[in-house]
Amino acid sequence: MMRIDPHTYAENFITEDEFQIRARARGVEVGANDATTGVGAYLRALAHQLSAQSVVEVGTGSGVGSLWILSGMISSGTLTSIDDETEHSRIARIAMQDADIAPPRYRLITNSIMDVMTKLTDRAYDLVVLRHNPEDLTYTIDEAHRILRSGGVMVIDGFFGGGKVSDPSQRDPKTIALREAGKSVKAATDLWVSTLITVGDGLLIATKL
């Protein structure tokens, strides 16, 4: 009998529903960067643990991650998902409608990430998920800290950068940006309690002090 490695087993421990599967397929067609199944399941559990009412997701993709997060939030909660690609927001809206998510429960914003994040309210969010261009992390981490409540959590999805971050010989701009982001969060012990977990392509988890 073929042995399944633990990472693959964990990634598929919780399966996606038909709405997430259809959303993922639409994302593949347009080349969207979506949460893996394992990451989605983790984000759902985290939102549930936080009793999350207000969540920001940077990098909407096809809406797969949004559906996972919403399924863990309290029923009156609102997800704000930001993407600078119009096509991503369009197919994410299809995913929301397909899954019969009530419109008041989500805001899909298509605009510059920086322009949107700087307008969000201080200390008003329970969870911030960053899944966008790693080169944006220099400012999105600071903005995440500003808008999170004390005890709120920031998640950087895809932190391993396809396995490059742990390889010192890899020096492309995105890998360097991820590596530097990790160093800055880890060192800021007066701001964050952080850890790194091997779900999907790596999740950097940081709780605001």
Residue 5 pLDDT greater than 90, yes or no:
no
Q: What is the DSSP string of 129-184?
A: EE-S-GGGHHHHHHHHHHHEEEEEEEEEETTTTTTTTT-TT---HHHHHHHHHHHH
pLDDT of residue 70: 98
pLDDT of residue 178: 97
Residues in CB range of 89: below 8 A, 6 or more apart: 60, 83, 108, 109, 110
Share of the chain above pLDDT 70, in %: 100
- Burial grade of 203 (CB within 10 A; 0-12, 13-18, 19 or more): buried
Extract the tokens encoding 77.
């909660």
Query: 134: closest CA among 40, 88, 63, 201?
Result: 201
Residues in CB range of 201: below 8 A, 6 or more apart: 36, 157, 158, 159, 160, 161, 162, 163
Share of the chain above pLDDT 90, in %: 94
pLDDT of residue 171: 94
Give pLDDT tens digits for 20-34.
Answer: 999 999 999 999 999
Give pLDDT tens digits for 120-140.
Answer: 999 999 999 999 999 999 999
| Mean pLDDT rounded to a whole number for the chain | 96
pLDDT of residue 2: 72
Structural domains in the chain, sorted by start = 6-208 (3.40.50.150)
Residue 1 pLDDT greater than 80, yes or no:
no
Q: Give the HSE-up count for residue 27: Cα atoms under 13 Å, Cβ half-sphere.
A: 23
Per-residue confidence band for 49, with pLDDT thresholds at 50, 70 and 90: very high
Mapped onto helix, strand or coil, the DSSP state of residue 10 is: helix
pLDDT of residue 209: 97
Give pLDDT tens digits for 145-197.
Answer: 999 999 999 999 999 999 999 999 999 999 999 999 999 999 999 999 999 99
